[in-house]
Structure 1
Amino acid sequence: MKPPPPPPAAAAIHHQIHHLSTLLITPTNSNPITPLLNTHHPSLSLLTSHSSYDAVSSSLPTLSNWLYDSFHSSDQNLKLFVISLIPIISKTYLSSPPLSVFGIEPILLAISNSSKSADQNGPISIPDLSQQSIYHIPFSVSDNTQKVFKFLEPDIDPHWSVSPNKRAEVVGSVLGCYYKHISVIPEWSKIDFCKFVSGWAGQDCGCKFEFGSKCDGNSDNLNSGKDKIELPWEILQPVLRILGHCLLGPINGNEVKDAASNAVRCLYDRVSHDLVPSAILATRGLIQLDMRRREGVKKPDIDLVSN
């Protein structure tokens, strides 16, 4: 007897992942997506596969349509997989000339608009001005006398091209979406993000060493400045939040924390030269918290040795 066919939703997910395997620029015998099709939950296997993440990252320009469709999928794991690629998508977008990002912009706009829709403020009750004061308004007001307004933040128009002054706003909104889901994002995505931030900072003047050794882990990042970009507050704010999680989150491994430790010091270099007071305070605070955390980790080891 043949097994029953999968439900329509599962079949659609299977088809979407199979389509991805045909789009990857890899030899057929080394395609990391193909084995995932035989698992019970292909989309979850895709989300937790480091090799699949690397393969998609390296083939990013050819996968724009697939990423756009997958973000609008009803399957949460497929959507999270696209969100886990936000660091490399943002890096490609910010470091590329405007004429070469047509395929990437729709993905970023879709994520940005989705994030804004989720954050949209709910109804706000406006006091009835016919009353003497707000203290005279009864607790239960009929629908006829209560005026309800809703503040609507206009979405970014999904035009074929985003004006240069809107790019930072778009990326900042997308990074905010990344931060909201960061607790379920795989570690390799967080490590990539920290490395990209180190490159975006583009500073390696030595200011970061005023706090002593930058981190106990290995760092392969001495900035050459080639990846340096403008860092307005729209981008800095979500970047600092994400780095704070990577640096201090209890679920993160040492490799994530070491990468974040280096990134926040590079960012401190940058904002110190750019004279951004709020970012200077934030990066200094993160560096000091990181130092205290590392001292707290070392202390029990010292006590064990002395005993």
Structure 2
Amino acid sequence: MSISESDHSSPTVATTATENTRSTSIRSTFKAQSAIESLSSIITTVPDSPNPSSSLLNDPEIASQICSLIRQADAGAGNDNLCRWLYDTFQSTDPQLQLVVLRFLPILGGVYLSRVTLRKPLAGFEAVLLALYAHETTSRSGQSMTVNVPDISHPSIYHESNTVKNNATNLNLAVISPSLEPHGTVRSTKRARIVGVALELYYSKISQLPVASKIDFCEFCEAWASGGDNDQQDSSVSSNGEGLELDQRERMRIPLSWELVQPILRILGHCLMGPNQKKNKKLFDAASCACKSLYRRCLHDINPKAMLATGSLLSLAKLSSDSQNDDIDYTEIRMTNAISL
């Protein structure tokens, strides 16, 4: 190829890339607009916005209406229009619309886990959770998620050693998420795993989700762990209405297997020590309360693995909180006229 031909090909490639980006943006906007039109038949008010995807993700009025529908007593059935909308929206394969569905995962998963013991039909909720699980299974090709952990029984590269290296022990693989199997229904023995994988997907996108969604998650975590035990003393002097509310919180106490605790701790860790946690005290406080309730629950259940993980997270959160109020730089050399002997 001559120099002149190479010079002419570069603008052509750039133009093609620009056209592809523009075409993708148009398709994404069209899908978001279609999703809003479908949602308008389910909720009462849908504000107009030049950016439909951002409106669905961040608009507090839309979020409030959707959360109210999910919390209704008859929500989650197989003929639930909102669940069908969430399912279809996630299956659109548009990344921005999939974020919208993940934004409501804390409240959907929270209501589902709290009501599943009541033996009510919740096929609508389960369809959405299975869609998230299937997406994660496909993206990971069913493989497990592992990390390399250093083997402290061997010297590091900075130390001399006369021992012969054994290549078989060089790699220590820690499985942080086991391999995934396809599931078409939610069985009681696989429920925690399916919801846990959905939470893993939520965690992978957590930096793009609004703070309100994370606060919802923290509040449900506290309810899952404590079930209203923290309010037990107040319930003895409460009115009938408040007593019913406490009974509802008692039903929210759920079994916490390691399949649920592990992704829960990752999400709480982000809420406690994420890049923006110093700017949002409400999120930090909600995550701190959830972590404390979870730690008390682990002590009650005598779960050593969860106790160690939750206690470590609490210690890190305390260090992070103390550092916010500590402006002293201990590496700085202070200038003073006093001579110290």
TM-score relative to the length of structure 1 = 0.73
The alignment status of 1:72 with 2:91, answered yes or no, reads: yes
Shift in alpha-carbon separation, 1:230–1:178, aligned structure 2, 3 A: same
Shift in alpha-carbon separation, 1:18–1:269, aligned structure 2, 3 A: same
Q: Deviations over 1:170-195 (max 9, x none)?
A: 11111111111111111000000000
Letter in 2 for 1:82: V
Q: Give the structure 1 partner of residue 68 of structure 2.
A: 58
Distance 1:178 1:44 in 2: 18
The 10-residue stretch of structure 1 (192-201 or 15-24) with the greater mean CA deviation from structure 2: 15-24
Letter in 2 for 1:261: S
Letter in 2 for 1:35: D
- Which residue, 205, 214, 224 being the options, matches 1:200? 224
Q: Give the structure 1 partner of residue 102 of structure 2.
A: 83
Shift in alpha-carbon separation, 1:14–1:280, aligned structure 2, 3 A: same
Q: Deviations over 1:238-266 (max 9, x none)?
A: 00111111110022321111100010000
- Which residue, 130, 136, 142 being the options, matches 1:109? 130
8 Å CA contact 1:203–1:266 kept in 2: the answer is no
Shift in alpha-carbon separation, 1:293–1:181, aligned structure 2, 3 A: same
Q: CA RMSD in A?
A: 2.5
After TM superposition, the structure 1 = structure 2 runs for residues 1-307 of structure 1, keeping only pairs within 5 Å, are 7=26, 10-24=29-43, 26=44, 31=45, 33-36=46-49, 39=50, 41-60=51-70, 61=75, 62=80, 63-96=82-115, 97-120=118-141, 121=143, 153-156=180-183, 158-159=184-185, 162-202=186-226, 225-252=250-277, 253-300=280-327
8 Å CA contact 1:202–1:229 kept in 2: the answer is no
Runs (5+) with no aligned partner, structure 2? 1-24, 145-166, 168-177, 231-245, 329-341
Give the secondary structure class of the aligned counterpart of 1:103.
helix
Q: CA deviation at 1:152?
A: 7.7
Give the secondary structure class of the aligned counterpart of 2:256.
coil
Letter in 1 for 2:47: T
Distance 2:227 2:47 in 1: 41
Shift in alpha-carbon separation, 1:300–1:114, aligned structure 2, 3 A: same
Q: Deviations over 1:249-292 (max 9, x none)?
A: 02232111110001000000000110111111111111111111
Distance 1:291 1:8 in 2: 46
Distance 1:9 1:285 in 2: 42
Distance 2:91 2:288 in 1: 34
8 Å CA contact 1:201–1:228 kept in 2: the answer is yes
Distance 1:194 1:84 in 2: 13
Distance 2:179 2:312 in 1: 35
Q: CA deviation at 1:77?
A: 1.4
Distance 2:258 2:94 in 1: 33
Runs (5+) with no aligned partner, structure 1? 1-5, 123-134, 136-150, 207-221, 302-307
Q: Give the structure 1 partner of residue 173 of structure 2.
A: none
Structure of greater Rg: 2
8 Å CA contact 2:29–2:52 kept in 1: the answer is no
Distance 1:297 1:12 in 2: 43
8 Å CA contact 2:29–2:53 kept in 1: the answer is no
Letter in 2 for 1:56: I
Shift in alpha-carbon separation, 1:153–1:240, aligned structure 2, 3 A: closer
Q: How many aligned positions are there?
A: 242
8 Å CA contact 1:86–1:178 kept in 2: the answer is yes
Q: CA deviation at 1:163?
A: 1.9
Q: CA deviation at 1:19?
A: 1.3
Shift in alpha-carbon separation, 1:205–1:48, aligned structure 2, 3 A: closer
Q: CA deviation at 1:167?
A: 1.1
Shift in alpha-carbon separation, 1:92–1:9, aligned structure 2, 3 A: same
Q: Deviations over 1:28-52 (max 9, x none)?
A: xxx1x2323xx1x211221121221
